[in-house]
Amino acid sequence: MEKFEDGSSYFFDDLNRSREYEPMWIEFYQKKFPGYLHIESTQETKLNKSKEQNDGIDRIITEADGTRTFVEEKIVLNVYDEISFEWMSNDVSGKPGWIEDEYLCNYLAYAFIPIKTIYFYDWKALKKMWKKYGEHWKKSKGCKQIVKTTTMPNLYTYRSLSTAVPIYIVDQCYKEMLIKKCVETVSTQLISDQERIDIMDEILRIKNETPEEKQKKLIKRIKELKNEQGTQNKDAGETIS
Residue 38 pairs in a beta bridge with 62
SS3 41: strand
Statement: residue 26 has pLDDT above 90: yes
Q: What local confidence, expressed as pLDDT, does residue 56 receive?
A: 84
Statement: residue 238 has pLDDT above 60: no
Please state, in angstroms and rounded to a whole number, the distance separating the CA atoms of residues 192 and 194. 5
Please state, in angstroms and rounded to a whole number, the distance separating the CA atoms of residues 115 and 183. 35
* Residue bearing the bigger pLDDT, 198 or 133: 133
Cα-only R_g, the chain: 22
**Entry pTM:** 0.71
Statement: residue 15 has pLDDT above 60: no
Statement: residue 20 has pLDDT above 90: no
Q: pLDDT band at 157, cuts 50/70/90? A: very high
Is 90 within 8 Å of 160 (Cβ atoms)?
A: yes
Q: pLDDT band at 192, cuts 50/70/90? A: low
- Tell me the pairing of strands 117-122 and 95-96: unpaired
